[in-house]
Structure 1
């Protein structure tokens, strides 16, 4: 289930800016088991991942961690990355950034600092994972976007960010190995990514 506030209001009036949406997002009382993001000018509340997604996220992190750029960390914690130029705020399933990004009291982290992001699709966010996030992450200069299509059981790695999104991508079915480009330059084994 996804709850979408088509036109969220602040004190009875429509928000005027992306900053208003961020303030509204901060004030939301999101139920346990849900996360909130700003997608296409709307605040979208969606359920947390299915249980087996944890295994997949852990496998990705374990494989990429030895290949992280210096002073970077990778996590699948619930953090909100902001992309003001696209008026988007995403809570990616997996993210890698330089450690200094977390040296803030704000809960709005710099999306342009990301060196890696991965999204595991769900029926509620799949469309944006396949389209809007490809464009936003690419325009922000995120070097690698890994899309784990849990419905189609395939992995796509996007690289070479540009003003239009990404210039390169490669797709493999779950169970095969996939090259993850710079700054990681490693191979991701997708064995164990399928649903139980």
Structure 2
């Protein structure tokens, strides 16, 4: 028998806690529990910068916002600080710390070298982003030097997943419509 789901606290309590956390600590609220998100290292930040430049070159009408807070999961009860959120230019105007997921075309995560990355980036975040209706989730997985594209969210899961090695040409589907040459990611894989 599965124990009844009991969140550690309410979303409102989490947001209050997060407001008072030191600037050096990033908190997320995933599946009803508080998670400390590790700060990205230099290679992590370079991968996001590369993706920002690439998106801007292909789709100047969009911007990839780094470290953007999103309301995720069913009924927007989760709070995820995505490594990147692709949205129309100006699409965050008037939003607070935690933006609604409507308008987000793609969420991006780059794996970190911590013990929670498997559960957080490969399991919980895809489910949370799919449940929030974000059309595309891009996972840049440094552990096995791959790029995973999730799309077609339905019933809290992505119906389609494609995994390709660094160096491959990756097509980000509708509504993103960007082709990535991932060769440059090899430089930041270490």
**TM-score grouping bracket, smaller chain normalisation:** 0.7 to 0.9
SS at match of 2:82: coil
The RMSD of aligned alpha carbons is: 2.1
1:181 is aligned to 2:173: yes
Residue pair 2:107, 2:138 contacting (<8 A) in 1 also: yes
Q: Where do 1:25-64 residues align within 5 Å?
A: 25-30=18-23, 32=24, 34-64=25-55
> TM-score, normalising length from structure 2?
0.83
Residue pair 1:67, 1:184 contacting (<8 A) in 2 also: no
Q: Where do 1:140-159 residues align within 5 Å?
A: 140-159=132-151
Give the Å deviation of 1:69: 8.2
* Structure 2 stretches lacking a partner, 5+ long: 1-6
Q: Where do 1:18-167 residues align within 5 Å?
A: 18-30=11-23, 32=24, 34-68=25-59, 70=61, 72-76=62-66, 78-83=67-72, 85-104=75-94, 106-122=96-112, 123=114, 124-167=116-159
* Structure 1 stretches lacking a partner, 5+ long: 1-6, 9-14
Q: Bigger shift: 146-155 or 51-60?
A: 51-60
> TM-score, normalising length from structure 1?
0.81
Q: 2-side partners of 1:67 and 1:165: how far apart?
A: 28
SS at match of 1:159: strand
- Paired residues in the alignment total 179
Give the Å deviation of 1:50: 1.5
**Kindly tell me: are residues 92 and 28 of structure 1, through their superposed partners in 2, closer, same or farther at Cα, counting changes over 3 Å?**
same
